[in-house]
Amino acid sequence: MPAAIASGVLRGRGVSAGRVAAPAVLLAPPLPEPDAAAVIAPENRADEVSAIEWAAVAVADQLRSRTAQATGEARAILDASRLLASDPELVADATALVRTKGRSGARAVWEAAAAHEKGLAALGGRMAERVADIRDVRDRIIAEILEVDMPGVPERDEPFVLVATDLAPADTASLEGGQCVGLVTEQGGPTSHTAIIARSLGLPAVVGATGATGVVAGSLLLVDGERGTVEVDPPAERVAEARAAAVVVAFDGSGALADGHPVPLLANVGGAADAATAASAHAEGVGLFRTEFCFLDRTEAPSVDEQVDAYRGVLAAFPGRKVVVRTLDAGSDKPLPFANADHEDNPALGVRGLRIARRSPQLLDDQLEALARAAAAESAQVEVMAPMVATVEEARDFADRCRAAGLDRVGIMIETPSAAVLAVELFEIVDFVSIGTNDLAQYTLAADRLLSELGDLNDPWQPAVLRLIGAVGDAGRAAGKPVGVCGEAGGDPALAPVLVGLGVTSLSMTARSLGRVAAALAEADQGTCRRAAKAALGAATAAEARAAASTVMSAVHVG
């Protein structure tokens, strides 16, 4: 049993954006391992074989029923589990153990599943994540044989955060329409079924959170699916902030200020499912397509053809609309074995983002080729940008590579203070920039964004960060070129008018934030935004910057 956790912060991997606060409910433990010592008499073994066969049929029927009720990726994953339950090899292996060794039906299924698990685990990568599927089917068949209830997602009348070691696909898919508002698991990766379905359902989720099952049931949890943190019994003001952010406000698909000045509101996505969700939420396009989700948990880079298919899935959701694609942003907290195999003492300052092309130029060239092919096959307006640019030479080399590949709209991320300071020179090379406020704050304040105790430093309201954004905005205005924000700050309704006043021309965020940001912008005209920005820039601390901007905005409300 893990030690009980009554307070503090757990850290894992954020796989589905959003923040939510609700009481913790722990998933019921799995069925106990059936007795290995029991031996079935030869004359009774036919009954045990029959029990296995009937149980497998019953489980397949149950999963078929769930599949019929599900949609999208959840449906595909559930159907895969149904096929596992119907797998003649699994059933044959289990019945052979009954006939030859006298295992009980439950024990035989357990051992046969273990052999299949071992085979999948040996394959590594995404196949290894199917182990959870095998265990789920195993437990369902055993529960059917023993005629006991199958542990699963509990039913509650009030919202809750579900905490588990891991979640089976059938359990994760059953969350749709229920009271579960967030997910936390000790195991799992960014391409696990838990992650995929959490994103498709819009549930904030953190996986790989060591110690999660030690959380005391009923504890209030604040789950941040962007930062990958789980706060146990956080302060009341943090809870209030998260609950306000969790309210989904409808967006009509047109971001604009009170005077009609357009401010396109775009979505951050990681794949086709995210893009479909964003399109249904009326996002005006994609401001950040994180292509690394197509690479994660791979031991080798995907082929150009595989990449083309993955990219087209996103582009197809926004015909005729802008889709800004960020090239591979591996390294630091997102290492890839084929790109970041070396140990680095300071990975956030190491070979990450565009710097990977220094050692593996073919990775970048293949990705640009795939993007060009995907863009040619779809009607979306594709723009491509590089992460982690620090010098003019890096930007020039990237732009040359993109244009040589047939990609005409080229930009860069502004994540380093160097790039912000060089914005005037960079605009002579690129067509647009997008500010990654999470990393810009990290590098400006020299504060690791993964350390929760430095959370006050990783704040876009820090005056140093705002002044760098303002410098980029001024350079964009002078060059007549777009300045986007795709970091966490882009989805903050209080900060949105300030960013526009600083010269930001578009904002990109999780789809759930679109309506709230649109509502905030609709209350301010261009003059108000500039006054709020000027007030924030003149502040000496983050708290003073917030207060100064709030005073300007409050005057508009009073007026």
Residue 500 predicted with pLDDT over 80: yes
Contact between 170 and 69 under an 8 Å Cβ cutoff? The reply is no
Token pair recorded at residue 530: 């500039």
- DSSP-assigned beta bridge partners for residue 268: 288
CA-wise closest residue to 114 among 138, 92, 95: 138
Q: What is the DSSP string of 6-56?
A: -SEEEE-EEEE--EEEEEEEEPPPPPPPPPSS----GGGHHHHHHHHHHHH
Phi/psi of residue 217, nearest 5 degrees: -55, 135
Tokens of 457: 């430093």
Mean pLDDT, range 44-64, rounded to an integer: 90
Q: Flag the least confident range among 38-52, 144-158, 351-365, 493-507.
A: 144-158
The 8-class DSSP code of residue 181 comes to E
Average pLDDT over residues 206-219: 90
Distance CA 225, CA 312 (A): 26
The residue annotated as part of the active site, out of 116, 180, 193, 529, is 193
Q: Are 335 and 342 in contact (CB under 8 A)?
A: no
Q: Residue 18 has what pLDDT?
A: 80
Helix (H) / strand (E) element for 361: namely: helix 361-377
H or E stretch at 396: helix 392-404
Residue 116 falls in the annotated catalytic set: no
Predicted confidence at residue 128, as pLDDT, reads 58
Quick one: which of 514, 524, 512 has its CA closest to 556?
Answer: 524
| pLDDT at 1 (0 to 100) | 45
SS3 398: helix
Exposure letters 168-185 (e unless 16+ CB within 10 A, then b): bbbbbbbbbeebbbbbbb
Sign of torsion, CA 494 500 501 504? positive
Q: For residues 334 and 293, what is the distance between their CA atoms, to the nearest angstrom?
A: 10
Q: How confident is the model at residue 298 (pLDDT cuts 50, 70, 90)?
A: low
Distance CA 360, CA 14 (A): 27
- In degrees rounded to 5, what are phi and psi of residue 510? -65, 145
Give the alpha-carbon dihedral of 233, 236, 238, 240, to 10 degrees. 120
Per-residue pLDDT, averaged over 44-68, amounts to 88
List, in order, residues 6 or more apart from 383 with CB less than 8 Å away: 322, 323, 324, 325, 409, 410, 411, 431, 432
How large is the average pLDDT for residues 46-66? Answer: 88
Q: What pLDDT does 194 receive?
A: 74
Structural domains of the chain in order of their starting residue, each with its CATH number: 8-29+153-243 (3.50.30.10), 42-146 (1.10.274.10), 253-520+527-558 (3.20.20.60)
DSSP letter string, 231-267: EES--HHHHHHHHHHH------S--B-TT--B--EEE
pLDDT at 179: 86
Task: Tell me the pLDDT tens digit for each residue of 335-350.
Answer: 666 666 666 677 778 8
Selection from 312, 321, 446 nearest residue 378 by Cα: 312
For residue 225, count CB atoms less than 10 angstroms from its CB and return exposed for 0-12, middle for 13-18, buried for 19 or more. Answer: buried
Instruction: Look at residue 397 in the predicted model and tell me its pLDDT.
Output: 97
- Contact (CB, 8 A) for 160 and 25: yes
Q: Is 29 exposed, middle or buried (0-12, 13-18, 19+ CB in 10 A)?
A: exposed
Please say if 343 is a catalytic residue.
no
The beta strands (E) that lie in 291-375 are given as 322-326
The predicted-structure confidence for 503-559, as pLDDT tens digits, reads as follows: 999 999 988 889 989 999 999 999 999 999 999 999 999 999 999 999 999 887 554
Mean pLDDT across 255-279: 93
Residue of 340 and 429 predicted with greater confidence: 429
Mean pLDDT of the region 183-193? 77
* 3-state SS assignment for residue 498: helix
Q: What was the pLDDT predicted at 311?
A: 96
Most confident of 3-17, 61-75, 267-281, 294-308: 267-281
Kindly indicate the confidence band of residue 351, based on its pLDDT and cuts at 50, 70 and 90. Answer: confident
Cα 223–Cα 190–Cα 378 angle in degrees, nearest 5: 115
Best-predicted range by mean pLDDT among 69-73, 87-91, 391-395?
Answer: 391-395
> How many CB atoms are closer than 10 A to CB 1?
5
Which structure tokens are listed for 53?
Answer: 């066969």
pLDDT at res. 4? 60
Catalytic residue among 180, 294, 402, 486: 486
Q: In this structure, are residues 423 and 448 in contact, taking their beta carbons and an 8 Å threshold?
A: no
Two tokens at 373? Answer: 């092919």
